[in-house]
Amino acid sequence: MGKHKKPYHKTVFAEAVGEAPVYWECPECGFLSGDPAFLDAEHPCPICGASGGEERRRFPTDRIRRLDARIRAYHADGDGEIVVILVATFLEAILEDILDRIMDAHGADLYMRRMVMDTQRSIGLRIGKVFPTLTGEEFEDAASELGYREFPRRWRTMREARNAFIHDSPFNGARETIDQAMASEAMELLDQAYRLFVLMSNRFVADGAHTG
C-alpha cells in the first residue's frame, strides 16, 4: 500500500521559457529536482538525504537538449511539418531515457539495458509492454495518476501525424492548417513531456532505488 505514494508530490519543476528545462539528479537515489538550490551538492537530497560527494547529473541529457533547441528553431521558422516529425522523435528519445533509468534502478546493467532497447524497438511495444513490465502499471494509468491523462492519446495522434507525413499519405483535410495546428500541439507535448517524465522518474526510479 502506498509504495509509490511518497516522493513524487515533492517534485519541484524547473522554470524554463523558450528552452529545455534543467533538472539535477541525486547520484544516490536518482531523484530529479528543478529546484536551483539542489544544484549545490551540499544541499541534501529531499528523498534520501545524500549530500556532498559526486557531482549531480543534469536531466535531460545534452542529446535531448540539442534536439529541443532545433525543434524550437524550426517552430520559430513556422516549419510545422518538421516540428511534428522532430517532436515525435524527441518523445521517443525521452521515453527511452526514462525506461533506461527505470531498468538501471532495477539493477539492470548496461548490457541488459541495451539488449532490451535493441530488441524492443517499436514505440508501441515500449509503451504497451516494456513500461508495464518494469513499473507494474499501464503507461496510460501512470500518466493519468500523475495529472497527464490526455498525454498518451495526444502523443498517439502526434505519431499518426508524423507517420502520415513520412509516408506521404494525406492526414485528412487542408494540409497547411493541419501542419500549424499539429505543430502547436507538438510544442505543448514537448513542454509537458519534461514534467511528466520527471514525475515518472521520481516515482519509479527514486522510489524504486530507495525501497529496493
- CA–CA gap between residue 3 and residue 33 (Å, rounded): 20
Each residue 50-69 as x (binds Zn ion by CB under 5 A) or -, in order, gives x-------------------
Each residue 121-150 as x (binds Zn ion by CB under 5 A) or -, in order, gives ------------------------------
Decide if 27 contacts 48 (C-beta within 8 A). no
Asked whether position 28 contacts Zn ion by CB under 5 A, the answer is: yes
Closer residue to Zn ion (CB): 29 or 186: 29
Asked whether position 205 contacts Zn ion by CB under 5 A, the answer is: no
The torsion of the CA quartet 194, 197, 198, 201, rounded to 10 degrees, works out to -160
- CA–CA gap between residue 68 and residue 55 (Å, rounded): 24
Asked whether position 26 contacts Zn ion by CB under 5 A, the answer is: yes
List 14, 20, 29, 103, residue binding Zn ion (CB under 5 A): 29
Which amino acid is present at 120? Q
Decide if 125 contacts 99 (C-beta within 8 A). no
Closer residue to Zn ion (CB): 12 or 48: 48
Which amino acid is present at 108? A
The torsion of the CA quartet 121, 125, 126, 129, rounded to 10 degrees, works out to -140
Per the structure block, which three cell numbers stand in for 65? 537538449
Closer residue to Zn ion (CB): 44 or 124: 44
Question: Which residues, 96 to 125, sit near Zn ion by CB under 5 A?
Answer: none
List 48, 93, 123, 187, residue binding Zn ion (CB under 5 A): 48
Q: Which chain residues interact with Zn ion by CB under 5 A? A: 26, 28-29, 31, 45, 47-48, 50
